[in-house]
Amino acid sequence: MAYGKYTGFKGWLYKGSTPYYGFALHRLTAMGIILFVGIHVAASFSMQQALGTWGTTINIIYESWWFQIFVVFCVLFHTLNGMRVVILDIWPKLIKYSREAVYLEWAIFIPIYALTVFLIINGALSAG
């Protein structure tokens, strides 16, 4: 995003197609992971040192199935998209196949994520 240009809501309608949505999702999932890992470390510290009960409260949220679905989406997408970026950066000749790289990324992402979500929901239903 160019510095000094406030794109606002129209920024989301930018016709950059699939790589742009990957860029936006990469940032959003990054913020998700930072939130998840930051709170996880803080809550670990709190529960280790027995600083009140808020660590236990966060523990309940972290063990709920909907939160795990969100976390798996963030981590898996950020990893795969990051690997795509790294591979295209290391071998710039492959940039002409960038669209195919995005399709390949989703082709890897969707089966793994679908299986994980199935297992999480299956476990949640059988446990509850």
Partner 1 sequence: MRHRYVPQRGINLDYLMWLFTRISGLGIVFLALIGLASAMYMGARMQMDLPTGLRWTFLPNPNHVINSNIPDVTLGWANAFWQIMQYLIVFFAFTHAANGIRMITEDYVGHTFWQPFLRAFIALLWIGMLIVGIYVILGSAY
List residues binding partner 1 (CB under 8 A). Answer: 1-4, 27, 30-31, 33-34, 37-38, 40-45, 47-49, 55, 58-59, 62-63, 79, 82-83, 85-86, 89-90, 127
Rounded to a whole number of angstroms, the minimum distance from the CB of residue 46 to partner 1 is: 9
Rounded to a whole number of angstroms, the minimum distance from the CB of residue 30 to partner 1 is: 5
Rounded to a whole number of angstroms, the minimum distance from the CB of residue 24 to partner 1 is: 11
Residue nearer to partner 1 on the CB measure, 83 or 110: 83
Give the whole-angstrom CA distance, residue 19 versus residue 70.
Answer: 22
Rounded to a whole number of angstroms, the minimum distance from the CB of residue 44 to partner 1 is: 4
Residue nearer to partner 1 on the CB measure, 89 or 100: 89
Contact 44, 55 (CB under 8 A): yes
Torsion of CA 36, 37, 40, 46, to 10 degrees: -130
Residue type, 127: A
Residue nearer to partner 1 on the CB measure, 23 or 106: 23
